[in-house]
Chain A
């Protein structure tokens, strides 16, 4: 399973890409694969605040529900509407078309995993 080199990762299987103070957040291919076919995703509205380490939404597959944990604190500036109409895009393209949120950072980016460290983590699982 591919793990893009240009992203950062959390132990909760989210990925993060920071550009000009705005972080794009999604879940990893490993997470999507483990969940199975994603049929529903619940995300906060644009304009709301999320806090690092706290739950900001959930993804549901046929068999399971998984909470989403915010990797950073900030204000949600954009939500990927595609994921509400066609949540399967998270399975098929988790790192590009299947992104979830764009967040304007209000604090520092915490220490996250690079691709190699995340690969190590998924192998341990």
Chain B
């Protein structure tokens, strides 16, 4: 039996089609995922992300324990700002990618993927030992709603007094949205400007309805996981389980910049990561652009001539661009943009070209 978010009834009322995602029953789309995708690019979309994990770390040594537990420099994050980072195991394998918000000097919020929620909570609980800090997993009682798209500012400004102009990308501020206390963050996973609102799960249905109502005149529509995936793919953003796995370090994933060796003190995975950072990774993450309409998909072989030189991790016919796009890992020798390769699409060999990521960035 899948778990349901506090917004499940609201989604049902909107006619959502549900899918099981990481043990949660989540809306995959409401009517048309292509229309939802387009709305986010041109106006705005409203997403339920309550399946994601919210783990609070507080105390005098909150910064220190996160510097020890994660690969990033969390001491260096100013209160009110956020950072994209990762949590690795001792051998440098990626347990999850995270967004960490520093809410105050001694208070951080770690947001983990639904599929890794328990792994991350357990790892933090274990790693906090010996530090003057407390790990508090509030995922059960926290809902997360995202408003994403070029109209997001207009929509939010109609329902909150928070100074949105002053709220930078990757920053957050406590705010009131028509009487609902939220943490308002300027973050997202769609390649568009937008906001993520953390709120008590009990209040989420009322907040969702008021955002939907405020947004409808601006073209906002409820948006499901199907379009969230094509949006993030166009934006070249990695998805855990596709582009990121525990079998890779951040270096193999092409995201070695998140590992901050210069921070003082030891951190989990440091020795292994130092070793792995010195080695040339055999395969690198690239973008592929196809012709026609047949999309390379997760698991398909990438070929140079008859030789298999890589594997597709995510792919779709890009709704915005109109041609097939994919992310793949390929041998270093074939990673240069402009390289002509092919993909075995269910027995048919289709040409693709290596292109720089992201496929789409907002103007």
* Chain A residues within CB distance 8 Å of chain B: 33, 36-37, 39-40, 42, 58, 60, 62-63, 65, 88, 91
Q: Does B361 contact A (CB under 8 A)?
A: no
A91 to B17, CA, bound (A): 15
The residue from B226, B294, B346 contacting A62, defined by CB atoms under 8 A apart: B226
Contacts of B319 in A (CB 8 A): 62
Known contacts A37-B34, A62-B226, A63-B229; can you find 8 more A-B pairs with CB under 8 A?
A36-B29, A36-B32, A39-B317, A60-B293, A60-B294, A60-B295, A62-B316, A62-B317
Complex contacts, A39 vs chain B, CB 8 Å: 34, 293, 317
Residues A62 and B33 in contact, CB atoms below 8 Å apart: yes
Which 3 residue pairs across A and B have the least CB separation, nearest first?
Answer: A40-B293, A37-B34, A39-B317
Residues of B within 8 A of A40 (CB): 293-295, 317
Q: B230 on the interface (CB 8 Å rule)?
A: yes
Contact A63 B226 (CB under 8 A): yes
When distances are taken between beta carbons in the complex, the residues of chain A under 8 Å from B230 are 62
Residues from chain B with Cβ under 8 Å of A58 in the complex: 346
Instruction: Please determine whether B297 and A36 come into contact, CB atoms closer than 8 angstroms.
Output: no
Please report the C-alpha to C-alpha distance between residue A36 and residue B16 in the assembled complex, in whole angstroms.
12
Max chain A C-beta neighbours (<10 A), residue from B34, B295, B297, B319: B34
A21–B26 CA distance with the chains assembled, in angstroms: 46
Total interface residues on B, CB under 8 Å, equals: 18
Task: Give A91 to B294 CA distance when docked, in angstroms.
Answer: 18
> What separation, in Å, do the CA atoms of A21 and B230 have in the docked complex?
43
Q: Are B226 and A60 in contact (CB under 8 A)?
A: no
27 A-B residue pairings within 8 Å (CB atoms)? A33-B17, A36-B29, A36-B226, A37-B33, A37-B34, A37-B35, A39-B34, A39-B293, A39-B317, A40-B317, A42-B294, A58-B346, A60-B293, A60-B294, A60-B295, A60-B317, A62-B33, A62-B34, A62-B226, A62-B230, A62-B317, A62-B319, A63-B28, A63-B316, A65-B297, A65-B346, A88-B34
What is the CB-to-nearest-CB distance from B222 to chain A, in angstroms, rounded to a whole number? 15
Which residues on B sit within 8 Å (CB–CB) of A33? 17
> Bound state CA distance, A88 and B317, in angstroms?
14
Specify the chain A residue showing the minimal Cβ separation from B316: A62
CA distance A33 to B297 in the complex (A): 21
Closest chain A residue, CB of each to CB of B295: A60
Bound Cα distance A33, B293 (Å): 20
| Min CB gap A114→B, angstroms | 27
Residues on B with C-beta less than 8 A from A60 are 293-295, 317
Q: How far is the CA of A62 from the CA of B324 in the complex (A)?
A: 10
Residues of B within 8 A of A91 (CB): 32
Residues of A within 8 A of B17 (CB): 33
Proximity string of chain B (32-55) to chain A, C-beta cutoff 8 Å, 1 when within and 0 when not: 111100000000000000000000
- Residues of B226-253 at the interface with A, using a CB-CB cut-off of 8 Å, are 226, 229-230
What CA separation (Å) do A80 and B288 show in the bound complex? 31
Per the bound structure, the CA–CA distance linking A40 and B319 in Å amounts to 12
Please indicate the chain A residues that have their CB under 8 angstroms from the CB of B28 in the complex: 36, 63
Q: How far is the CA of A62 from the CA of B317 in the complex (A)?
A: 7
* C-alpha gap A36/B28 in the complex (Å): 9
CB-CB under 8 A from B34, the residues of chain A are 37, 39, 62, 88
- Check B33 against A36 for contact (C-beta < 8 Å): yes
A58 to B348, CA, bound (A): 13
Q: Looking at A33, A39, A62, A65, which has the most chain B CB atoms within 10 Å of its CB?
A: A62
Question: Which positions 309-328 of chain B face chain A at CB distance < 8 Å?
Answer: 316-317, 319
Which partner residue on chain B sits nearest A92 by CB separation? Answer: B32
**Complex interface: chain B residues within 8 A of A65 (CB):** 297, 346
List chain A residues, Cβ under 8 A from B229.
62-63
Closest to B293 in A: A40
Give the docked Cα–Cα distance between A38 and B319 (Å): 11
Q: Which residues of B contact A62 (CB under 8 A)?
A: 33-34, 226, 229-230, 316-317, 319
Instruction: Give B1-47 interface residues, CB cut-off 8 Å to A.
Output: 17, 28-29, 32-35
